[in-house]
Structure 1
Amino acid sequence: MCRGIDLVLNSRVASVRDGYVTVVNKAGQEQEIKFGACVWATGIAMNPLVKQLQEVLPGQTHFRSLLTDEFLRVKGSDGSIWAFGDAATIDQPKAVEYVDRLFEQADKDKSGALSIEELKDILNEASKEFSHLAEHAQVLEAKNTPLRGLVRAFAADAAAANTSPLSTVEEDTVLTKEQFKELLQKIDSGLRALPATAQVAKQQGEYIAELLVQGHITGPAAAAPALGGSKPFRYFHKGSLAYVGSDKAVMDVPKLGPIFGTGAGLLWKSYETFAQISLRNQLLVATDWVRTKVFGRDISRF
């Protein structure tokens, strides 16, 4: 208990009625809590239009959004519908489904097994088609360089380097086709949908806008795989920022990891200021920071 606040953990809301909320814990036990005012944050439901499209389009099996290909075209729409942000989830292809082709392409000496060099080459080449292989290829590159510690820090995220199935592969490793298949299965199991953040939606929106400007989006005729030579959408994670109060913030910077403190808070305020869409807004936000620092936010004194 902290300042009169009771936390009820590992429970879900079962019902809400006048003056009472009923919660159920993992053991199935119900608890009735009396309240004066109830603020219930339940997440978001699927947009009615998205739900309607999902019901009529073939191949739409995701539980909360429309499945798209790597060009953000809604599956089952013949290239006539595009979706991004919370309304869409990219259906990422799994490399293991193409193991025969990939193994044959990698086995250049036709020995029936892959050396570490052949494995590295095929991961780099296949990453053009299966983007999630790129970080694992970087892990393999980092393991086979003289300055492996330094390269590992900058060539691949620390988390990826530690969790990649390739982190235990040695220089003299030789993989049979079955072992190569098992490796791809492990890599594919790490596939995750893009986070539902503004950063992702912004990049997707800019990608579709660029296709529109270039005249690649023209309806069903745009269903050609290459879309006039355009590259599929690739998300670039620029990091995360969160303000935690008292002029402090937490930053998650790719390659560097988490940063916390007043310095991170200053960077957060700087980003929030210069990310505004107009000079007027930038000046308003900047002066608000200064005014708050000097006078505080307690307007009852004025």
Structure 2
Amino acid sequence: MKDGEVKELDYGLVLWSTGIAMNPLTKTISEKLEVQKNTRALITDNRLRLKGVPDSSVYAIGDCSTIENPNLVKQLMQFFVDGDTDKNGHLSYSEFQTLAKKISRRYPITKSHLKKADILFARYDQDKSGTLELEELRIMFEDIDKKLTSLPATAQVAHQQGKYLGKKLNQIAVAHRTKKYPPSSDYSVDIDKPEPDVDDLLPPFSYAHFGSLAYVGNAAVADFGTGWTWMGGLPAVYLWRSVYFSEQISFRTRALLAIDWSKRFLFGRDISKF
């Protein structure tokens, strides 16, 4: 079909599935920053700071952004040197366990892939030597890198990011407000001495998935994030409604939601066409 060409098609059922385009402001920011290569969202580091901006106090949260996945293979040598505490050229199980915890704290998105250190160690210790060689660790990191995925663009993620960023901004404000300066009579500023990075007061953002609920007609389905799902009629619907209602941020939104549900209960769903 050529651009601008209009064509009519007979149909019985139409299912429209498409992506979400960038907001004009988001797109403008992305085009002005060379390091922003993602065509659907702004890339941030694991502390929600916008990549490519010298001033680290610029943040992006919600579905306009995506947290950059760490490339573990690129940092392989540094991780191996840090983990090999006795400098014997391979990692024992205890050394690997300590290294896995450090990587999980630095990159929380890897936590689910590194939490079972004993199983990982046994799987990638291919020569069954009881240690991990550099090549075995490289294969492990390559497999983990392939499994890492971006966080979903859902309200649950945005809600946790908002709480994290609010806490971070409060701590930064307190750190600046309580900074101890010399008395005003002999006040001086050393411009060559960099200030401490108060933006690193909080650890990296870590997303905790509490499951998903979907409302489908007069039924609902729940995925509790542990492999256990549940689908039901009215009990599941009211479970969905109670969670949805509790997550509203103000009395106003709760009242409007209650009114909408009451109207639907009394008069049914509005399917009128305009």
Query: TM-score, length-normalised on structure 1?
Result: 0.68
Q: Please list the CA deviations of residues 194-250 of structure 1 after superposition, one character each: whole Å capped at 9, or x if unmatched.
A: 1111221222223223333334599xxx9975515222222221211101122x211
Q: Please list the CA deviations of residues 145-182 of structure 1 after superposition, one character each: whole Å capped at 9, or x if unmatched.
A: xxxxxxxxxxxxxxxxxxxx668457974321111111
Q: 3-state SS of the aligned residue for 1:189? A: helix
Query: Quick check: 1:92 aligned with 2:69?
Result: yes
Residue 131 (structure 1) aligned to one of 102, 108, 112: 108
Which residue is 2:181 aligned to?
A: none
Equivalent runs, 1:46-195 vs 2, <5 Å = 46-78=22-54, 79-140=56-117, 143=119, 168=123, 173-195=130-152
Q: CA deviation at 1:131?
A: 2.1
Which residue is 1:261 aligned to?
A: 232
Which residue is 1:155 aligned to?
A: none
Which residue is 2:199 aligned to?
A: 227
Q: 1:249 to 1:123 in 2, by over 3 A?
A: same
Which residue is 2:190 aligned to?
A: none
Q: Whole-Å Cα distance in 2 between the matches of residues 189 and 174 of structure 1?
A: 23
Q: Please list the CA deviations of residues 19-55 of structure 1 after superposition, one character each: whole Å capped at 9, or x if unmatched.
A: 51xxxxxxxxxxxx2479x996643222222222222
Counterpart amino acid of residue 235 in structure 1: Y
**Matched length:** 249
Q: Whole-Å Cα distance in 2 between the matches of residues 106 and 276 of structure 1?
A: 45
Query: TM-score, length-normalised on structure 2?
Result: 0.75
Q: 1:44 to 1:281 in 2, by over 3 A?
A: closer
Q: Whole-Å Cα distance in 1 between the matches of residues 195 and 157 of structure 2?
A: 23
Structure 1: stretches of 5+ with no match in the other structure: 1-12, 21-32, 144-164
Higher strand proportion (structure 1 or 2): 1
Q: Percent identity?
A: 35
Structure 2: stretches of 5+ with no match in the other structure: 177-193
Q: 1:212 to 1:230 in 2, by over 3 A?
A: same
